[in-house]
Amino acid sequence: MSLQRNEQELIQQVLKIFSAKLETGGFRKTPERFAILEEIYKRTDHFDAEALYIHMKNRSYRVSRATVYNTLELLVNCDLVKKHQFGRNLAQYEKSYGYKQHDHVICAHCGKVVEFCDPRVQQIKDMVGELLNFKISHHSLNLYGVCGSCQKEMEFGIVRQLPKVEVDEPGWGD
Amino acid sequence: MSLQRNEQELIQQVLKIFSAKLETGGFRKTPERFAILEEIYKRTDHFDAEALYIHMKNRSYRVSRATVYNTLELLVNCDLVKKHQFGRNLAQYEKSYGYKQHDHVICAHCGKVVEFCDPRVQQIKDMVGELLNFKISHHSLNLYGVCGSCQKEMEFGIVRQLPKVEVDEPGWGD
DNA sequence: CTTGGTGCAAACAATTTGCAAGCGC
DNA sequence: GCGCTTGCAAATTGTTTGCACCAAG
C-alpha cells in the first residue's frame, strides 16, 4: 500500500473509489455526493450529521439534511466513512480510508475523543466469532472515563453540565 | 461473595442496596422506583425503556414513561442496571448486579444478542488508561456479525427486513 | 425521456421537560 | 408543610419519509 503524498491526493483517490462504487452499485454520480465526501475528507476526526450539514451550508453548498444522511449511509457502506455511537443518541462519523483500524476513549466530562489501537481486539474478535459461530464483520470498542485535564478540573470542583461543544467555524480557508 | 439461593433473595438484596443508595444520595424512596427495580430483576436480559414501560402497564402498575426513564438513570448510576447502545438509536438495558462483567455479540440479521467474557478486555482498559492518562470507569465492546442460524438462512436467500421483535408477554407468572 | 436523487417540510421515534398535584421526609 | 417526584402531555432532538421537481444516464 502506498502512502498519500498529501491531502489533495488522498481526496482524489477517495473520490475515485466512491465513483467506482457508485457505478458498480448502480447509483448515480451526483455533485452533492462528491461534494459531501470531499468536505468530510477535508475535515478532521469526528462529527455528527448536523455538524456536517451546517458545514456544507457554511461552505455555501446547497444540500439538504436528507442528502447528507443518504450520502453518509452510502459512504458507510463503501467503507469510506465509519459511524459511531458514543453513548448519547447522536451518531458520530469519521473518515476511514487509509486509516488503520482503531478504537476510542471518550472523556465523560469534556467529550474529548482519543483514538487507540490494540491488537488484542482482533484476537478477541477471532476467538469469540469462532467460539459462538458468528461471522463477525465489525466491532465497536469504547472506553469511557475522565481525561487528564478534566481530572485536574474536578479536583477544583469544577462541574461541567454538558460537554464542551465544538462549533463549526464558518468560512475558514476559503 | 456468596451466591444467591434464588431469585426472590436476589431481588430483596438489590432492593436493599437501592434503598441505601437512595438514602445516601438524598433521593426519596418512592414505591414506583422499587417497583421498577423489582420488575427489571424479574425479567431476563435486554430490554428498552418502552418495553419496560409496557411491561409495567401490563402488570397494572401506574407509572409514566418519565418515571421509567428517571428510575433507569438512577439505577445505572447505582450500578444495578447497565445501559447499552447496540447501533440503532435505542438504548437497551439489563440488570447487572451479581453478574460478572461481560460484552456482547449482536447478530445484524435477527438482532440476537449473545454475551461473552474475555479477560483481555480488562487488560486493554488498564493499559490504555495508563498510556493516555484517562481514569477509565467503564467500557462498551460490541461485536457485530451474523449468527450461525442466520448464516444458513442467508444461504437460502432469505432476507429479513427487520430483526425479529421481542414482544412483552402480558401476564406471565402472576 | 426515464427514474433515481434532490430540497424542503412534515412525520416519526426516542427521550426530555414543564407543570400541577401528590406524598416522602 | 416543603419540595422532590410523579403522571401526563407537550416539547426537543436526531433521523426518516413524502412529494414535486430536476438532472444523470
Q: Is A6 a domain residue?
A: yes
Do A2 and A65 reside in the same domain of the chain?
A: yes
Nearest-Cα distance to chain A for B103, in Å, is 10
- Higher pLDDT, residue B2 or B41: B41
Nearest to B144 among A116, A123, A138 (CB): A138
Interface test mutation site (partner B, options A134, A135, A140, max chain B beta carbons within 10 A):
A134
Question: Are the CB atoms for A83 and A72 separated by under 8 Å?
Answer: yes
Mean pLDDT over B86-90 rounds to: 87
- Compute the distance between CA of residue A86 and CA of residue B84 in angstroms, rounded to an integer: 10
Nearest to A132 among B91, B114, B120 (CB): B114
Domain boundary among B82, B99, B116: B99
Closest nt by CA–C1' to A91: D14
Do A84 and A132 reside in the same domain of the chain?
A: no
Q: How confident is the model at residue B32 (pLDDT cuts 50, 70, 90)?
A: very high
Cβ neighbours of B13 (radius 10 Å):
15
Say what the pTM is.
0.85
Which domain does A111 fall in, by range? 101-161
Do B94 and B148 reside in the same domain of the chain?
A: no
Do A68 and A139 reside in the same domain of the chain?
A: no
CA closest to A112 among chain B residues: B134
Domain boundary among B99, B120, B150: B99
- Higher pLDDT, residue A2 or B94: B94
What is the full per-residue pLDDT of chain A (174 aa) written as tens digits?
A: 555 568 889 999 999 999 999 999 999 999 999 999 999 999 878 999 999 999 999 999 999 999 999 999 999 999 999 999 988 889 999 999 988 889 999 998 888 899 999 999 999 999 999 999 999 999 999 999 999 988 887 777 655 544 444 444 433 333
> Which CATH number covers residue A15?
1.10.10.10
Question: In this structure, what DSSP letter does residue A154 have?
Answer: H
Do A70 and A108 reside in the same domain of the chain?
A: no
Do A36 and A106 reside in the same domain of the chain?
A: no
Do B7 and B81 reside in the same domain of the chain?
A: yes
Q: Do B108 and A137 touch (CB under 8 A)?
A: yes
